[in-house]
A = this chain, B = another copy of it.
Amino acid sequence: MNYNQLVEEIKIKKSLLCVGLDSDLNKIPSFLLNSEDPIFEFNKAIIDSTHQYTVAYKPNLAFYESLGIAGWQSLEKTMDYLNTKYPNIFTIADAKRGDIGNTSKMYAKAFFEHFNFDAVTVAPYMGEDSVMPFLEYENKWVILLALTSNKGAFDFQMHSDKENRKLFEKVLEKSQEWADKTRMMYVVGATKAEMLKDVRAIVPEHFLLVPGVGAQGGSLEEVLANGANSNGGLLINSSRGIIYASNDNQYQSRAAEEAFALQKLMKTVL
């Protein structure tokens, strides 16, 4: 998907919502466990009930990998379903990969060719040649970790140089040499919403993928106030708050309600 197509979908749906598919056998409604592929059935039901409010879905790879081959199959089916039934919705492999060039190339092949994701999250620690292989695909995106939403973000991302420039700021600056706003986004955690202003000073135009709204404690209003730009410029993720809003037979309608509640707030800035 290219930049204009993503912006168009945001304008049509008046939404910046990304739904995180952190699908876990221990948390989905127990009556689904009797089906042939419980994780796929759950994802399909969540997607069907939330798609009208949603511009992006973000499967979290760890949840699928922890189930071995069965998890890999559930992910393949989920991506086939999304790409066939909802081709205008952006898809993100939340994989946080990053390795030497010839290895990153294989990860890019896995996510962009095998699964046909639109984007993959990439960790910046290994630098330029660990990121470039993901940028060799037309209309595919890198979402680079900049400032994450967890407590450990303070351990290294705030490491300041002599000019008081923090590591995450250096990541934002340096990586703009690798791709522009049509190929790259940044992960910026919602739990540090006041810092979105600092981020916007460095990357005014880029999309930011903002995790941490809801279960991780970030405020949506603050994110919108500090992070939105003229094209929206944000993909705001909620995972557990939507997909596990209920685990009884009302789980689809409850997920839809939670997604709609977030979209209602989002449309005020669009």
With A65-B110, A96-B99 given, is the CB distance from A153 to B126 under 8 Å?
A: yes
| Between-chain CB contacts (< 8 Å), 7 pairs | A65-B114, A66-B106, A69-B72, A94-B99, A100-B211, A126-B150, A126-B157
Q: Is A260 an interface residue, CB under 8 A from the partner?
A: no
What residues on B are CB-neighbors of A124 within 8 Å? 125, 155-156
What residues on B are CB-neighbors of A216 within 8 Å? 100
Q: A96-B126, A159-B161 are in contact. List 12 more A-B contacts (CB 8 A).
A: A22-B102, A62-B99, A66-B107, A68-B110, A94-B99, A98-B123, A100-B149, A125-B157, A126-B145, A127-B150, A127-B154, A128-B152
Chain A 17-34 interface 0/1 with B at a Cβ cutoff of 8 Å (1 = within) = 000001010000000000
> Are A68 and B62 within 8 A (Cβ)?
no
* A139-164 at interface with B (beta carbon < 8 Å): 145, 148-157, 159-162
How distant is the Cα of A106 from the Cα of B167 in the complex, in angstroms?
27
Q: How many copies does the complex hold?
A: 2
How distant is the Cα of A97 from the Cα of B123 in the complex, in angstroms?
9
With A107-B66, A128-B151 given, is the CB distance from A167 to B174 under 8 Å?
A: no
Interface size on A, residues (CB 8 A): 60
Q: How far is the CB of A18 from chain B (nearest CB, A)?
A: 15
Q: Is A269 an interface residue, CB under 8 A from the partner?
A: no
> Are B123 and A62 within 8 A (Cβ)?
no
Q: How far is the CB of A153 from chain B (nearest CB, A)?
A: 6
* A66-95 at interface with B (beta carbon < 8 Å): 66-69, 72-73, 76, 94
What residues on B are CB-neighbors of A73 within 8 Å? 69
Of B60, B76, B127, B151, which one neighbours A68 at CB under 8 angstroms? B76
Q: Is A170 an interface residue, CB under 8 A from the partner?
A: yes
Chain A 204-215 interface 0/1 with B at a Cβ cutoff of 8 Å (1 = within) = 000000010000
Most chain B CB inside 10 Å of its own CB: which residue of A102, A124, A156, A162: A156
**CB closest residue in chain B, given A65:** B110
Q: Is A103 an interface residue, CB under 8 A from the partner?
A: yes
What residues on B are CB-neighbors of A103 within 8 Å? 22, 60, 62-63
What residues on B are CB-neighbors of A106 within 8 Å? 24, 60, 62-63, 65-66
> Are B152 and A109 within 8 A (Cβ)?
no
Q: How far is the CB of A110 from chain B (nearest CB, A)?
A: 4
What residues on B are CB-neighbors of A211 within 8 Å? 100
> Are A151 and B125 within 8 A (Cβ)?
no
